[in-house]
Amino acid sequence: MSNTIAYQGVEGAYSHLACKNRFSDMEAKPFPTFEDALISVEKGESKLAMIPIENTTAGRVEEFYRLIPKMSLKVVGEHFEKINHCLIVNRDADFKTIKDVYSHPQALAQCHDNIISRGLKPVVNFDTAGSVKELAKSGSLESGAIASSLSAELYNLKILEENFQDHDGNTTRFIILGKESSEHSFDKNRRYLTSIIFNLKNIPSALYKSLGGFATNSINIVKIESYTPIGKLQVSQFHIDVETHTDERRFELTIDELKFFADEVKVIGCFERDSIRDENSL
């Protein structure tokens, strides 16, 4: 297996930056879509994949949740990347010439107030760094792009304004996925997260009852997301992250209770909790 970590986007994307910062000894390889990046790992062409899952300003990354039901990979870790959005333009452009700004919907949402206050028109594009690449190719003086400083460097463009995001502390949480679980035996001196997905049974108070076992067994839920799987309008699927290890007896008891109220309960990863959660109260 190659020492490659896959990500969605083009060179200079925030996912590329996250790969470089977390796995400096691995080759970061871009793919057009999240699914392509995951398939690369499933086929053994890449060792890992770095996928953004949520942002402190703009919320969850919807594209990933569409892939969860059919995902065969395991979550083997998490990584938090502080996002410094830059307003990037061609060398001869400035605030007097630019009229619109291109980027991924997440980046546009995270910079919404600054975009409007500058009198610019936000234009949705598929990718942050991809927007910079297209801008460099066009040579336009009327357009800008929101992306990382790395992308400005790679495509030889000018940063018109750094820290263009609306709020300080803007951070994206990435999950790291692999073909094989990174799970190790429980160590009481370490802190773990376990990711679980499940479908609720069609019974009264199903959600309330399904979460009761976590409270009874003193397991803290740090994340809960609900979504509707494609083609299943009557099904509510949940993704939760809980502070426990799968080897712990309390986890076994909780899962046994959960199965009374939920179908298709699946553990998609057990991994060590990122210490940045303690430093930043995440």
Q: Which CATH number is associated with domain 4-82+171-178?
A: 3.40.190.10
Cα atoms in the 13 Å half-sphere on the side-chain side of 226: 7
Tell me how far apart the alpha carbons of residues 237 and 17 are, in angstroms, rounded to a whole number. 31
pLDDT for res 127: 87
What stretch of H or E contains 134?
Answer: helix 128-138
Pinpoint the residues of the chain covered by CATH 3.30.70.260.
Answer: 192-280
* Token code pair at residue 190: 């370490």
CA 44 to chain centre: 22
Q: What is the pLDDT along the chain (282 residues), one digit of tens a residue?
A: 589 999 999 999 999 999 999 999 999 999 999 999 999 999 999 999 999 998 887 778 777 777 877 788 999 999 999 989 999 999 999 999 999 999 999 899 989 999 999 999 999 998 899 999 999 999 999 999 999 999 999 999 999 999 999 988 889 999 999 998 766 788 888 999 999 999 888 888 988 999 999 999 999 999 998 877 665 656 678 999 999 999 999 999 999 999 999 988 999 999 999 888 877 555
Positions marked active-site: 172, 174
List CB contacts of 29: < 8 A, sequence separation 6 or more.
4, 5, 6, 7, 40, 46
pLDDT for res 68: 75
Secondary structure of 144-212 in HEC code, one letter for each residue: EEEECHHHHHHCCCEEEECCCCCCCCCEEEEEEEECCCCCCCCCCCCCEEEEEEEEECCCCCHHHHHHH
> CA separation (Å) from 234 to 54, 206, 264?
25, 14, 15
CA 1 to chain centre: 24
Amino acid at 159: I
Tell me how far apart the alpha carbons of residues 150 and 155 are, in angstroms, rounded to a whole number. 9
User: Is the distance from CB of 7 to CB of 30 less than 8 angstroms?
Assistant: yes
Task: Tell me the CATH number of domain 86-161, given options 3.40.190.10, 1.10.1740.10, 3.40.50.880, 1.20.1740.10.
Answer: 3.40.190.10
CA 105 to chain centre: 14
Task: Tell me the CATH number of domain 192-280, given options 3.30.1200.10, 3.30.70.1450, 3.30.70.260, 2.60.40.420.
Answer: 3.30.70.260
Pinpoint the residues of the chain covered by CATH 3.40.190.10.
Answer: 4-82+171-178, 86-161
pLDDT for res 39: 94
CA 6 to chain centre: 13
Collapsed DSSP state (helix, strand, coil) of residue 76? strand
CA 34 to chain centre: 10
Using CB atoms within 10 Å of the CB of residue 221, give its burial: 0 to 12 exposed, 13 to 18 middle, 19+ buried.
Answer: middle
